[in-house]
Amino acid sequence: MYKRIIRTANAYYNVGLSRAQVRDLTGAVDALSRCLELNKRHVEARNLLGLVYNEMGETVLALREWVLSRSYRAQSNPAERYIRDVQANQNHFELQMQGVEKYNQAVHQAQTGGADLAMVTLKRVVQTNPNLLRAHLLLALLYMQEKSYSKAGKLLTHVLMIDRGNATARRYQQAIRELQHKAPETVDPVEKNLRQTARAEVVIPAYGVAASSYLLNALYVLIGVAIGILALYFLVIPGKEKEYAASAQQQINEINSEILSRDAQIAELQRTIEALEQDKADIQGTVDDMNTASNEAADARNKMVAAYDKALNLALIYAAGDIATVAEQYPNYTPELVDSDSYRQFYNYIYVQNFEYLYASCFNEGQRRANEGFELEFGVRLLEAARVLKPDSSEAIFWEGVAYHRIGDLGKARELYQKVIDEYPNSAEAPQAVAQIAQIP
């Protein structure tokens, strides 16, 4: 069952990737969202969904996906770079955030009857955030209500250049085509009759007619034309405008009804998905708990085996009398390393009961070699081992400096002498260290 869920999630990811490559961003969001509903830890799908949101002008949604992706996989995750790129350009990010706020303000203005204010606000939004598709679609809808179909069409074309699969933009385009097709469909009969009347009343006077008759006929013609124009203006044009406005409003209402129906279907599907997600989370939680318990047991077992291997090796070294190595290994052992009484007994024997013996052996042998000038390299090692056991031992630091002095490493010798002088000025070795530094050229 779990493998089938993972395979299905991967299939949705591949579909989303293919759609994103052909700029069907709406389709990509749908496929990638389905992938993440099945496998919320799919890092590649979450990163791609963030990139798609970012391309659609939804920077906040993109950041949400990238932050979640980083929480699931902290190492080698491109989401870290995406987040840094957004943070590096704070001015651009703030402009986008202001654009979202203004878009929400425009929605409120449009809902409360302030369509003109909403249009002004949205024009500013699309200028500062050209990829915020929601703003373009709302502004196009308002232009349609104002019968500015050319402006609305340009906005919808821009949306489809970014997101070829945007179904809302295509519905709006279809509505515009239908409205523009209906507008010049037929000439109103009243307007047609008026035009025919106007043409019919242009009378060509016959030769020999009196001037007064000619002027009277011309006056009749002018009066007829004036009446026709007035009738056209007051009767025909208002009727046509109302007809076109009613038709446009009907189209908009149908589109809004379709959107509401789709939103209801999406909400129902979302509830179903949430229930399935909860079931999947319960199963995943059980699997994670089992894996954690198994891993903890394996880690504890491996830790104990490694600790006993180290303890056995150290015991062999101790038995061989290599006290320098035993002292050097001191920082690698603590009584809490393994929860075992036998291991703690071993630690107490080596590093508690024999601690002073180990230090004294390392220091005395190292001091003797430094003082007498033989086996100086081994003497340095013994004194360094003594310092591992007692880091604050001024005598071990001083005699290690003497050993380096005799070897010829004057820089290291000067460093150790100076350490005694600076950090242990009241020690018995401090005056000796001053005297030794004076001998170094």
pLDDT tens-digit series, residues 312-323: 566 667 666 676
pLDDT of residue 313: 64
φ/ψ bin of 373: left (φ > 0), alpha (ψ from -120 to 50), beta (otherwise):
left
Lowest mean pLDDT among 11-15, 29-33, 159-163, 244-248: 244-248
Query: In the structure, what pLDDT confidence band is assigned to residue 395 with cuts at 50, 70 and 90?
Result: very high
Q: Name, of 186-200, 291-305, 341-355, 411-425, the range with top average pLDDT.
A: 411-425
Cα 377 from Cα 289, distance rounded (Å): 54
Q: Judge whether residue 178 has pLDDT over 80.
A: yes
Which 3 state secondary structure label does DSSP give 89? coil
Q: What is the pTM of this model?
A: 0.42
Segment holding 400, helix H or strand E: helix 394-407
Query: In the structure, what pLDDT confidence band is assigned to residue 297 with cuts at 50, 70 and 90?
Result: low
Radius of gyration of the chain (CA): 45
Q: Could you tell me if 363 and 424 are in contact, meaning their C-beta atoms sit under 8 angstroms apart?
A: no
Listing DSSP states for 111-151 in one string gives: HTT-HHHHHHHHHHHHHH-TT-HHHHHHHHHHHHHTT-HHH
Q: Judge whether residue 128 has pLDDT over 50.
A: yes
pLDDT of residue 208: 38
Cα 329 from Cα 435, distance rounded (Å): 34
Give long-range contacts, CB 8 A cutoff, 24+ apart: 341-345. Answer: 343/307, 343/308, 343/311
pLDDT of residue 332: 65
* CA neighbor of 96 nearest in space, from 130, 67, 65, 121: 130
Query: In the structure, what pLDDT confidence band is assigned to residue 29 with cuts at 50, 70 and 90?
Result: very high
Q: Judge whether residue 183 has pLDDT over 60.
A: no
- Report the alpha-carbon angle 392-400-314, nearest 5: 75
pLDDT of residue 211: 41
Q: Judge whether residue 371 has pLDDT over 60.
A: yes
The rounded mean pLDDT for the chain is 80
pLDDT of residue 216: 58
Q: What is the mean pLDDT of residues 9-33?
A: 92
Fold adopted by 2-88 = 1.25.40
Q: Judge whether residue 204 has pLDDT over 60.
A: no
pLDDT tens-digit series, residues 37-95: 999 999 999 999 999 999 998 888 999 999 999 999 988 899 999 999 988 888 888 88
pLDDT of residue 307: 63
Class of domain 352-439: mainly alpha
Listing DSSP states for 229-270 in one string gives: HHHIIIIIHHHHHHHHHHHHHHHHHHHHHHHHHHHHHHHHHH
Give the residue, 286 or 198, on which the prediction is more confident: 286
